Amino acid sequence: MRNSRRGQVDPFIVMDVMEAARRAEEGGRHIIHMEVGQPGTPAPQGAREALARVMEDEPLGYSVALGLPALRQRIARLYGEWYDVDLDPGRVIVTSGSSGAFVLAFTALFDAGDRVGIGEPGYPSYRQILRALDVEPVGIAAGADHRLQPVPGDLENLDLQGLMVASPANPSGTMLDRSALSALTDACAARDIAFISDEIYHGIEYEAKAVTALEITDDAYVINSFSKYFSMTGWRVGWMVVPDSHVRLIERLAQNLFICASHAGQVAALAAMECEAELQDNLAVYKANRALMLDGLRDAGFERFAPPDGAFYVYADVSDLTDDSRAFAAEILEKAGVAVTPGLDFDPHRGHGTIRFSYARSTGDIREGLARLKRFMQARR
Ligand SMILES: Cc1ncc(COP(=O)(O)O)c(C=O)c1O
pLDDT in tens, 163-220: 999 999 999 999 999 999 999 999 999 999 999 999 999 999 999 999 999 999 999 9
pLDDT at 15: 81
Nearest CA to ligand 1 atom 7: 98
Ligand 1 midpoint to CA 234 (Å): 11
Is the pLDDT assigned to residue 77 strictly greater than 90?
A: yes
pLDDT at 13: 81
The best mutation among 17, 221, 227, 309 to test binding of ligand 1, ranked by most ligand atoms within 8 Å of the C-beta, falls on 227
pLDDT at 83: 98
Do residues 377 and 301 make contact, with C-beta atoms less than 8 angstroms apart?
yes
Split at pLDDT 50, 70, 90, the class of 29 is very high
* Angle subtended by helix axes 276-300 and 363-380, to nearest 10: 10
- CA 155, 160, 162, 165: dihedral to nearest 10 degrees? -30
Do residues 104 and 93 make contact, with C-beta atoms less than 8 angstroms apart?
yes
Distance CA 149, CA 133 (A): 25
Write out residues with Cβ below 6 Å of ligand 1.
Answer: 37, 97-99, 123, 166, 170, 198, 200, 225, 227, 233, 238
- Which ligand 1 atom sits nearest the alpha carbon of residue 123? 1
Ligand 1 midpoint to CA 123 (Å): 8
Q: CA angle 244-247-251, nearest 5°?
A: 175
Of residues 139, 170, 143, 98, the one with CA closest to residue 343: 170
- Enumerate the β-bridge partners of residue 137: 116
Is the pLDDT assigned to residue 341 strictly greater than 90?
A: yes
Model pLDDT for residues 277-297, shown as the tens digit of each residue: 999 999 999 999 999 999 999
In the chain, the percentage of residues whose pLDDT exceeds 70 is 100
Nearest CA to ligand 1 atom 4: 98
pLDDT at 277: 98
- Which ligand 1 atom sits nearest the alpha carbon of residue 236? 9
Distance CA 296, CA 290 (A): 10
Distance CA 239, CA 272 (A): 14
- Residue count of the chain, please give it: 381
The arithmetic mean of pLDDT across residues 111-117, rounded, is 98
Is the pLDDT assigned to residue 11 strictly greater than 80?
A: no
Task: Please give the model's pTM, rounded to 2 decimal places.
Answer: 0.96
The best mutation among 93, 99, 341 to test binding of ligand 1, ranked by most ligand atoms within 8 Å of the C-beta, falls on 99
Residue 223 neighbours by CB under 8 Å, 6+ apart? 95, 98, 101, 102, 105, 196, 197, 198, 199, 200, 238, 239, 240
- Which ligand 1 atom sits nearest the alpha carbon of residue 100? 11
